[in-house]
Structure 1
């Protein structure tokens, strides 16, 4: 074993700057459903947010898409003149 101490690491004045947000470049194709397309378009907002801001957008889009899917299972409301005898 050596009794030599490792040389100390010199500290520099240069501060480390993490890379800023960058777009992923994922193209969105229209689905033909305006409400769904609007939710998916909101995903583009994360291109300009730091990573810790993505979760809020993803959860909001997920809630909106779930609501759209749930509305497909809801039977249409009867119109006023549908109950004619």
Structure 2
């Protein structure tokens, strides 16, 4: 007894029959991704194309990975150090020398 399915021979020079379209198979969503100019962000956005070849239940993992990558990229932008903020020194006190200014009071009489 032979349990294997009968083999159909394909005549030489002919292509095998294509299987019919499977509506349950993953299909590209066709969502355009416009480059942002930031290489790290663009790499994360390109990662979204991986969902085109996955069943729906595999999308969540990709989305979470991309979200984490974008969040890390934004955090790194916030953490970058630039030139130090200018230190503001107070200017001359416009009230100094006027009667009643604390600098005119005798030493030790300030409250």
| Alignment: residue pair count | 62
42, 49, 54: which one aligns with 2:47: 42
CA positional deviation for 1:75: 3.6
1:20 equivalenced with 2:44 (yes/no): no
- Using the alignment, how far apart are the partners of 1:73 and 1:67 within structure 2? 10
Name the structure 2 match of 1:9.
none
- Runs of 5+ unmatched residues, structure 2: 1-21, 84-111
TM-score by length of 2: 0.52
Superposition misfits of 4+ residues, deviation over 2 angstroms: none
Give the structure with the larger helix fraction: 1
- Runs of 5+ unmatched residues, structure 1: 1-16, 79-85
- Using the alignment, how far apart are the partners of 1:48 and 1:75 within structure 2? 36
TM-score by length of 1: 0.66
1:68-83 pair list within 5 angstroms: 68-76=73-81
If you compute each CA radius of gyration, which structure gives the higher value, 1 or 2? Answer: 2
63, 66, 79: which one aligns with 1:58: 63
